[in-house]
Amino acid sequence: MILSALILTPLVGALLISVWPQKIESDQIRKGALITLGVNLVMTTALVAQFDITDSGFQFLEKIAWIEPLGLTYSLGVDGIALPLIVINSLLCFVSVYISHGVRRPRLYYSLLLLITSAVAGAFLAQNLLLFFLFYELELIPLYLLIAIWGGERRGYAATKFLIYTAFSGILILGAFLGLVLLSGTGSFDYDPSLAQTLSVVQQTVLMGVLLIGFGIKIPLFPFHTWLPDAHVEASTPLSVLLAGVLLKLGTYGMLRFCVGLFPQAWMELSPLLAWWAVVSVLYGSLAAIAQTDMKKMVAYSSVGHMGYILLAAAAITPLSILGTVLQMVSHGLISALMFLLVGVVYKKTGTRDLTILRGLMAPERGLPFIGSLMVLGAMASAGIPGMIGFISEFIVFRGSFESQAPQTLFCMLGSGLTSVYFLLMINRVFFGRLDAAPDGTGGTIEVTLPKVSWRDRVPAMTLVLIIFAFGLQPAWLTRWMESTTNSFVPNYTNYANNPGRLVGRGSNDAVIAELLPLNQPLDMPITVLPTH
């Protein structure tokens, strides 16, 4: 029942906060939310401790019949792909609440944050397509309200845009799920990798395409990305942390779990095209980031670029690249959360995020040298500098993808270089030089002394930096939880391409596991172990 507890604890917390009969102070509500998410974090730790890393399948399974005529069951399970995302969700939701203070309408605000925590955990754990969709949609309205009520000047526009895009994404996902269940004739929405095996490749391709566009909006991939920069710019810092760190991962997780997991043949057929799509997304996101003058927009566009790596790795569909997709999700979650957190601090202290105004923030005693140092570390991590998690994830993505999508991988690697370019631009303009703002761009300057950064702002950022370093220096602490699942998750593209009608998986022991398999049969045939090349 631990998985249900992960979903229900924040939900109960949200309900308690919203219906608490007495008048309570904002800080007390915040503490209540923190305690709730603290309990959630402890439970997540317990889940990790009990997780069997040798088991590649779903663990801690729970299944309760719910609306049987619809095929909806309350089925939960966690594997090596969902586990790290659950941890990231618990951690970043805690961080988001921790850095929220002095908000208007605190009851509603913290209730919505807890509701999002619950919905996202549910989506990662759902073993039923409809249940996944319900949780996927459940997170939509709270997020819309959080942007619309607590956002910036153009919050209405950004929130509406987000709602329209994501609702459309949901419609596509639901349509694909319904089509899949109807065409397969099973009548059950329970997650089953062999669900689409009875479908023709054309049917699979169409359904997978619809599903991929749905998730592509959420990830977001070019050209469905335009809601993200607006949402980020108008969202408050805690929400930006949550949005970049966790919510975008619903898209990549969905793509991996459902597009790749349910439609392997169609995915393989389209994988070169998908890898080129990743190239476009990576290069567009990176080049767009270079063009930005708003720090938040720059980090938002960097997200578009970095999420492209996940599509590349998923398209490459080798065991190593699939490990890379999950790693990149975790890595991007941590790094982008850190970057948005730091941009938020800069904004709070200076009242601007404009690169043409800010300068010299690294200045000691007058500026924000500590935040600047962390920003440099975050930028280095994002650019894939060794010693930090960004390098590990990008290296594994590129190494894994090169096997099957060499040219696309090489193009995507340019994205790493471009990451250095735009973050260097940002750091150079914002943190170096003299701490004299030139607010109106006419050459006039004013002397600036910025307020001190409190420990409340420093501690979460330092925590994220420590985690980024820890996993960067010892990636095995992270990969051991995933490898078993990612190694057995997908067939090997290369062998499939060479032997149509044959699905091949690679074991973790340097042997290639091949099984002769007609396209319309489930994966339960005897296997033959072949020597490696």
Element (H, E) at 441: none
The answer to whether 316 touches 325, Cβ cutoff 8 Å, is no
Q: C-beta of 107: minimal distance to other proteins in Å?
A: 15
Looking at the Cβ atoms of 62 and 436, the one nearer to other proteins is 436
Looking at the Cβ atoms of 153 and 510, the one nearer to other proteins is 153
Residue ranges that bind other proteins, judged by CB under 8 A: 100, 102-104, 150, 152, 236-238, 347-352, 357, 360, 362-366, 432-440, 442-452
Query: Alpha-carbon distance 40 to 239, whole Å?
Result: 19
Residue 98's identity, in one-letter code, is Y
Looking at the Cβ atoms of 386 and 444, the one nearer to other proteins is 444
What CA–CA distances, in Å, run from 320 to 12, 268, 363? Answer: 39, 16, 43
Looking at the Cβ atoms of 454 and 499, the one nearer to other proteins is 454
Looking at the Cβ atoms of 113 and 259, the one nearer to other proteins is 113
Q: C-beta of 439: minimal distance to other proteins in Å?
A: 5
Neighbouring-strand partners of residue 503:
515
Neighbouring-strand partners of residue 447:
436
Neighbouring-strand partners of residue 59:
78
Q: C-beta of 74: minimal distance to other proteins in Å?
A: 35
Q: Is 328 exposed, middle or buried (0-12, 13-18, 19+ CB in 10 A)?
A: buried
Q: C-beta of 298: minimal distance to other proteins in Å?
A: 18
What does the angle CA 308 – CA 312 – CA 316 come to, to the nearest 5 degrees?
170
Query: Alpha-carbon distance 389 to 468, whole Å?
Result: 5
Looking at the Cβ atoms of 316 and 437, the one nearer to other proteins is 437
Q: C-beta of 437: minimal distance to other proteins in Å?
A: 4
What values do phi and psi take at 169, rounded to 5?
A: -60, -45
Q: C-beta of 428: minimal distance to other proteins in Å?
A: 11
Length of the chain: 533
Looking at the Cβ atoms of 133 and 347, the one nearer to other proteins is 347
Q: C-beta of 343: minimal distance to other proteins in Å?
A: 11
What values do phi and psi take at 501, rounded to 5?
A: 85, 5
